[in-house]
Chains A and B, each alone.
Chain A
């Protein structure tokens, strides 16, 4: 028989026993008083009832302890568990009234409590392990809520705060961590975008800068995680990795190049400028030959300027500072413009620059300034490696979703062994055995620019028979969707490698 059933049986037996005791007691009292003592029947009855009452009270007093003891044991067990006191199974000597049953119940209570404790301990253990990992991580971790207020920072993260951590908690990110991003495409705008469009998302930001109150500067790479309905209320989880030394070194290198370029540009400005003035004022005085002499100097000074631009571009490419403004353009216009500015150069060097263009083309997606540099570099190349009197042809044709442009010369050509290396940085092929100046930068820059446009650049050549350099660029239509998400620049600003001018500036106000 199970303990519970035994308990119920014993309890009912006990109650029956008490009942019987009272009944018999009363009967005995009546027997003694009515029969043996021959008292008045009414008197006997009264005495029996009184005796019965005494028995009830006695049983009640002592009996309740017996009945209550099981529940006492249970309530003690519960209080042990609450107060984390020692777990001792009671009643120690099972037996009597449902002792086994009560022991079972008490045991269950203790077991449940232990399981609960273990679970809690395990959670605690795991949490402190994770906390340990976070705290010893070599990167900063911050958690921000939906209002942009700081909820958490790990130890590393606290180092970057100018405000005491306890005070910083609950403060807005703009106050505690005024990060500067490389462009308008920053954390705030990304979070706003994510709020409207995403449930979860992640983004990587490069070169994020932080200037401290003591004016020291940190540069980080950042990874941000956005979560719309995080149960803990964390909307943004930001992780910062220290990259200061590395990026500072990059920057000082870039600064050097920018400074050198600036220094070179000073005299170049004056040389080009006065040659221009001279050409303008002497055009009616000089004869053709004399004008030609001046043009040689003019063209060369332009090429000098182009070389400085190439150097700057290389430095920008290396530092990944190169930023293209890709827009829809009419390719025929671009080519015609290039032709206009390069035909003099070709002429001065005794080359003929020709065009072979279709009547119509779909529009193209280009960063005009840098594409002009590509064409300029390729034409320069063709001039260098072709013969006196030679023809250089710029041809354009449509090719599926691309527009392909070739620049062909009939010069000395390129040997097979060299072709594979042409677009590498600083590469100077055997062609340079001719007395020709060049820095080996031009073709490398062309490749980077064309690649950045999502295009392709190539070369075909037979030694002794000239070379054809070509590149293809995507049509505007094929990339229009992707472009619209890119940087918006619709202020009517005309850009070139020479700078920019506002379109219709009279409408500025």
Chain B
């Protein structure tokens, strides 16, 4: 277990939404920072040291796609370990899906992901989930999916 609390960055222009996720994640012990614009978010992201970045795909000034490309392109070593999860209320079309699957570590519909569910997902990624509610499928080819713990 690390001494330092894991840091999460939320880049989302709707303050109500970023606050609700931030509140629940802070309660669970994460350090959370919020950013409401693209350029500011990108600057913070490039500082590095983030465990997870939650990124809204539809920001007013810069698209989430551009941001994620720039983050990935960043030479900062700290950044390359960061998991980036796209959060949005748009359904993705095939073209977006294909490029997103290469760049992002996840794509979640906000209207379906409550704060506690978001916490669960992040904890699952950490492997620190206490009650793993496996509500999604596992898809390595033709193997039977694993049971929830």
Q: Which residues of A contact B (CB under 8 A)?
A: 182-184, 258, 261-262, 265-266, 268-270, 272-277, 280, 305, 308, 312, 323, 325, 327-330, 333, 337, 340-341, 363, 368-369, 480, 484, 488-503, 505-506, 508-509
Contacts and interface: CB of A to CB of B under 8 A. Distances in A.
Interface string B134-149: 1111111111110110
Contacts of B62: none
Contacts of B121: 501
B137 A327 contact: yes
A182 B97 CA distance: 12
Given A269-B89, A330-B147, A496-B136, A490 B109 contact: no
A490 B139 contact: yes
B89 A502 contact: no
Nearest to B87: A499
B66 to A, nearest CB: 20
B5 interface: no
Interface of B: 14, 16-17, 20-21, 23-24, 27, 80, 83, 85-86, 89-91, 94, 98, 101, 105-117, 121, 124-125, 133-145, 147-148
Nearest to B98: A184
Majority SS of interface residues in chain B? mixed
A368 B111 contact: no
Given A492-B140, A503-B138, A272 B114 contact: yes
A328 B142 contact: yes
22 contacts: A182-B94, A258-B90, A261-B91, A266-B14, A270-B14, A273-B110, A275-B114, A276-B20, A276-B114, A333-B134, A333-B148, A337-B148, A484-B142, A495-B137, A496-B135, A498-B135, A498-B136, A500-B136, A501-B124, A503-B139, A503-B140, A505-B125
Residue of B91, B124, B137, B140 ringed by the most chain A CB atoms within 10 A: B137
Contacts of B116: 276, 280
A274 B27 CA distance: 14
A501 B106 contact: yes
A416 B109 CA distance: 40
Given A305-B111, A494-B136, 16 more contacts: A183-B94, A258-B91, A270-B20, A273-B21, A276-B20, A276-B117, A280-B116, A327-B139, A328-B143, A333-B148, A480-B142, A488-B141, A490-B141, A497-B112, A498-B117, A499-B108
Contacts of B135: 337, 340-341, 496, 498
A467 to B, nearest CB: 27
Residue of A262, A276, A312, A489 ringed by the most chain B CB atoms within 10 A: A276
Contacts of A270: 14, 16-17, 20
5 closest Cβ pairs, A-B complex: A490-B141, A265-B89, A498-B112, A276-B114, A265-B111
B17 A277 contact: no
Contact of A508 (B105, B114, B138, B143): B105
Nearest to B112: A498
Residue of B83, B121, B134, B140 ringed by the most chain A CB atoms within 10 A: B140
Contacts of B148: 333, 337
Contacts of A328: 142-145
A493 B89 contact: no
B91 to A, nearest CB: 6
B115 A269 contact: no
A262 B24 CA distance: 24
B147 A333 contact: yes
Contact of B89 (A262, A325, A490, A500): A262
A493 to B, nearest CB: 6
Contacts of B136: 368, 494-496, 498, 500-501
B119 to A, nearest CB: 9
A363 B145 CA distance: 10
Contact of A323 (B86, B94, B134): B94
Given A273-B17, A273-B20, A500 B107 contact: yes
A506 B127 CA distance: 10
A340 B110 CA distance: 21
Given A258-B90, A363-B144, A308 B105 contact: no
B109 A494 contact: no
A14 B117 CA distance: 119
Nearest to A490: B141
Contacts of B112: 305, 497-499
Contact of B111 (A268, A337, A491, A494): A268
A69 to B, nearest CB: 83
B115 A277 contact: yes
A269 B80 contact: no
Residue of B106, B116, B134, B138 ringed by the most chain A CB atoms within 10 A: B138
B106 A502 contact: yes
A276 B112 CA distance: 12
A325 B136 CA distance: 13
A290 B89 CA distance: 31
B115 A265 contact: no
Contacts of A329: 137, 144-145
A500 B137 CA distance: 9
A16 to B, nearest CB: 97
A471 B43 CA distance: 52
A484 B139 CA distance: 13
Nearest to B134: A337
Contacts of A369: 137
A325 B97 CA distance: 13
B137 A368 contact: yes
